[in-house]
Amino acid sequence: MLNLSTRVANVRRQAQRIAAGMATVAPKIGDTKVSMSLLEPNAYINYQRIEDNLAIVRDRLKRPLTLSEKIVYGHLDDPHGQDIVRGESYLKLRPDRVACQDATAQMAILQFMSAGMDTAAVPATVHCDHLIEAQVGGPKDLERAIKTNKEVYDFLATATAKYGLGFWKPGSGIIHQIILENYAFPGGLMIGTDSHTPNAGGLGMVACGVGGADAVDVLAHLPWELKCPKVIGVNLVGKISGWTTPKDVILKVAGILTVKGGTGAIVEYKGPGVESLSCTGMATICNMGAEIGATTSLFPFNHRMVDYLNATKRGEIAKYAQSFAHNLQADKDAEYDQHIEINLSELEPHVNGPFTPDLATPISKFKEAVEKNDWPAELKVALIGSCTNSSYEDMTRSASIAREAADHGLNTKSKFTVTPGSEQVRATIDRDGQIATFEEVGGIILANACGPCIGQWDRRDVKKGEKNSIITSYNRNFTGRNDANPATHAFVASPDIVTAMAFAGDLRFNPLTDTLTGSDGKPFRFSSPTGKELPPKGYDPGLNTFQPPPKDRASVQVAVDPKSDRLQMLKPFAPWDGKTPEDLPILIKVKGKCTTDHISAGGPWLKYRGHLQNISQNCLIGAINAENGDANNVKNQITGEYDGVPQTAAYYRDHGIKWVVVGDYNYGEGSSREHAALEPRFLGGLAIITRSFARIHETNLKKQGMLALTFVDPADYDKVQPDDRVSILGLQEFQPGKNLTLELKHKDGSKDKISLAHSFNEGQIAWFKAGSALNLMAAHAKAKAQAQAQQ
Residue 28 CB coordination number (10 Å): 11
The number of C-alpha atoms within 13 Å of 476 and in the hemisphere containing its C-beta is 30
Catalytic residue among 96, 102, 141, 194: 194
Closest to 142 in 3D by CA, of 373, 367, 456, 606: 456
194 in catalytic set: yes
CA 438 from chain centre, in angstroms, equals: 29
Catalytic residue among 96, 102, 129, 597: 129
Contact 217, 777 (CB under 8 A): yes
Catalytic residue among 97, 176, 314, 476: 476
What region does 5 belong to: left with phi over 0, alpha with psi -120 to 50, or beta?
alpha
Per DSSP, the residues of 597-609 read HHHB--GGGGGGT
Residue 744 CB coordination number (10 Å): 18
Closest to 274 in 3D by CA, of 235, 326, 306: 235
Contacts of residues 780-786 at CB distance under 8 Å and 24 or more positions apart, as own/partner, are: 781/115, 781/116, 781/117, 782/116
Q: What value, to the nearest 5°, has the Cα angle with vertex 34 and ends 31 and 37? A: 160
129 in catalytic set: yes
Residue type, 436: A
Catalytic residue among 172, 494, 671, 772: 671
Alpha-carbon gap, residue 616 to 609, rounded angstroms: 9
Burial class, 85, CB count within 10 angstroms (exposed 0-12 / middle 13-18 / buried 19+): exposed
Is residue 168 within a helix (H) or strand (E), and if so which, with residue range?
strand 166-168
Alpha-carbon gap, residue 397 to 382, rounded angstroms: 16
Closest to 553 in 3D by CA, of 280, 165, 167, 214: 165
SS3 of 342, please?
Answer: strand
Catalytic residue among 75, 94, 127, 130: 130
CB neighbours of 460 closer than 8 A, spacing ≥ 6? none
Alpha-carbon gap, residue 768 to 736, rounded angstroms: 13
SS3 of 269, please?
Answer: strand
Closest to 187 in 3D by CA, of 284, 305, 42, 340: 305
Strand partners of residue 362: 350
Alpha-carbon gap, residue 199 to 297, rounded angstroms: 8
CB neighbours of 580 closer than 8 A, spacing ≥ 6? 727, 728, 729, 731, 732
Q: What are phi and psi of 392, to 5 degrees?
A: -60, -40
673 in catalytic set: yes
Alpha-carbon gap, residue 298 to 285, rounded angstroms: 9
Alpha-carbon gap, residue 639 to 635, rounded angstroms: 8
What region does 235 belong to: left with phi over 0, alpha with psi -120 to 50, or beta?
beta
Q: What value, to the nearest 5°, has the Cα angle with vertex 389 and ends 387 and 395? A: 125
Q: In the chain, how many H helices and how many E strands?
A: 24, 32
User: DSSP strand E in 460-531: where?
Assistant: 468-472, 488-492, 516-517, 523-524
Strand bridging mode 546-547 / 468-472:
unpaired
Buried b (16+ CB within 10 A) or exposed e, 226-264: bbbbbbbbbbbebebeebbbbbbbbbbbbbebbbbbbbb
Catalytic residue among 75, 94, 314, 673: 673
Beta sheet of 296-298, edge-to-edge order: 296-298, 265-270, 230-237, 338-343
Q: What are phi and psi of 195, to 5 degrees?
A: -70, -20
Catalytic residue positions? Answer: 129-130, 194, 476, 671, 673
